[in-house]
Structure 1
Amino acid sequence: MVRRTFLITGASKGIGRALSNRLADAGHEVVGVARGKDPGFPGTLVSIDLHDSKASGQALVDLAQRYSFDGVVNNVGLARLHPLGEIDLTDVDDMFRVNVHSAVQTVQAILPTLRAKGWGRIVNVTSLVTTGIPLRSGYAAAKAAVNSLTRTWAMELAETGITVNAVAPGPVETEMFRQNTPVASEAESHFLSKIPMRRLGKPEEIAAAIAFLLSDEAGFITGQTLFVDGGGSIGRTAL
């Protein structure tokens, strides 16, 4: 096995933490980005506030100079709920800043290294909500934008040895999901009614899919969005 170095945003919790554990257990070096601290993190955890595009942009460039990255997982996410008619544009701006700006910044920071190596993996974590889920206009728009970036970047980089793919989870048992969807709530029941498996995903299940797309074996896959959602996207048109 070739030991790789991967950058993961939103690495201290949920899917990001599960993925960090999986990659570290496989012998890879993990550099995580998060706002909080995690003394038990299985790698190097760097505190960067991705809400601040100017400060985070410079911090990511600095990281790219310190580490020889082989890939990035843009996992950080921000979701705020609004019904149509009550959408707060400040919240929309925040969601685009965290979900979209940070993906652009991380990729642009490490791209020169990936190009020089002639090998690289970019995985963007998006969401089932892009297929249409009530109250999530801003979040769905931001994640749909990241799906679009995935396809565009895959086309631009197809001959470089760098692949670009997205993983779109359905509802997963994470802190962010529970902030908007309490246990046994009407919102949870609504979500599960749309999932044929009738359960939430586990962070480790999403991490497994991401880890595959980071692998050498996934070298002929690019520009794809893989739904890991208990069947929730079946019969839906994905953006």
Structure 2
Amino acid sequence: MTQRTFLITGASKGIGRALSERLARAGHQVVGIARRTDDPTFPGTLVSIDLADRDATDKGLRELTSRYAFDGVVNNMGFVKLARLGEIELDDLDRTFSTNLAPAVQTAQALLPNMKEKGWGRIVNLSSLVVLGVAQRSTYAAAKSAMISFTRTWALELADSGITVNSVAPGPTETEMFRENTPVGSEAEKRFLSLVPMKRLGKPDELAASVEFFLSEPAGFITGQTLYVDGGASIGKAAI
């Protein structure tokens, strides 16, 4: 097995943390970006960068790409602000788009030259089941729909370079961010579970396993695809 070096955003918690552990166990080098880096148990190198700050992100990525020859990136970091139509603040709309989308573009572009030089690379974008429609998530769903568009467009642009681009769209997954908006036993949790044929939440490690596959050597002929990992919640819904 070839040892690879992967960059993961939002690596300290949830799916990002589970993926970091999986990749490290498989012998890969993991560099994670997070706001807080005071975790000695992280299975790799954890770097503090505020991805909502474009200048700080550019500076941090320049430093990282000078130190590591990255083989791929997982754009896992996300931000959600709940609001129904009629209550959406335009500042929140701007922040949701900027925070979810700009870092994905910045990381992909920062790593692209090295991946092109190697003739091998992986980009995996985290989207969400909410792109198919979930109340109070207009802005988040729009941003995550854009991640799918990024995936398809970048896959076409990079198809002959040895770099694949895919996305994973999680259903309700028991991460810290999910619980911030969906407390245990809440009506929101009941609504989400009613959408899932398996009648349970996903586990971060289950989502991480699908991302790990897209990063692997055997996934080299798959590009531009979005995989819903959602306990069957997307079955019967209109696909994008």
Amino acid at match of 1:20: S
Q: CA-to-partner distance for each residue in 1:191-223, whole Å, 9 max, x for gaps?
A: 000111110000000000000000000000000
| Distance in 2 between residues matched to 1:190 and 1:113, nearest whole Å | 44
| Distance in 1 between residues matched to 2:50 and 2:96, nearest whole Å | 13
CA RMSD of aligned residues (A): 0.7
Amino acid at match of 1:74: N
The alpha carbon displacement at 1:110 in A equals 0.4
Report the 3-state secondary structure (helix = DSSP H, G, I; strand = E; otherwise coil) of the residue aligned with 1:8. strand
| Distance in 2 between residues matched to 1:96 and 1:127, nearest whole Å | 14
Asked if 1:225 is matched to 2:223, the reply is: no
Could you list the runs of 5+ residues in structure 2 that have no partner in the other structure? none
Query: Which residue is 2:66 aligned to?
Result: 65
Query: Which residue is 2:196 aligned to?
Result: 195
Q: CA-to-partner distance for each residue in 1:24-69, whole Å, 9 max, x for gaps?
A: 0000000000001222110000000011112112211221121000
| Distance in 2 between residues matched to 1:147 and 1:27, nearest whole Å | 29
Q: Once superposed, which parts of structure 1, at least 4 consecutive aligned residues long, lie more than 3 Å away?
A: none
Query: Which residue is 1:107 aligned to?
Result: 108
| Distance in 2 between residues matched to 1:21 and 1:44, nearest whole Å | 12
Preserved contact between residue 61 and residue 110 of structure 1 (Cα < 8 Å):
no
Query: Which residue is 1:29 aligned to?
Result: 29
| Distance in 2 between residues matched to 1:193 and 1:61, nearest whole Å | 45
Q: Structure 2 length normalisation: TM-score? A: 0.98
The alpha carbon displacement at 1:98 in A equals 1.7
Query: Which residue is 2:163 aligned to?
Result: 162
Range that drifts further, 37-46 or 161-170: 37-46
Taking only the aligned residue pairs, the percentage that are identical comes to 67
| Distance in 2 between residues matched to 1:91 and 1:60, nearest whole Å | 26
Query: Which residue is 2:10 aligned to?
Result: 10
Preserved contact between residue 53 and residue 97 of structure 1 (Cα < 8 Å):
no
Q: CA-to-partner distance for each residue in 1:89-122, whole Å, 9 max, x for gaps?
A: 1111111122100000000000000000000000
Amino acid at match of 1:172: T
Query: Which residue is 1:214 aligned to?
Result: 215
The alpha carbon displacement at 1:238 in A equals 3.0
Preserved contact between residue 130 and residue 238 of structure 1 (Cα < 8 Å):
no
Q: Structure 1 length normalisation: TM-score? A: 0.99
Amino acid at match of 1:41: F
Length, aligned pairs only: 239
| Distance in 2 between residues matched to 1:100 and 1:86, nearest whole Å | 22
Amino acid at match of 2:18: A
Q: CA-to-partner distance for each residue in 1:179-201, whole Å, 9 max, x for gaps?
A: 00000000000000011111000
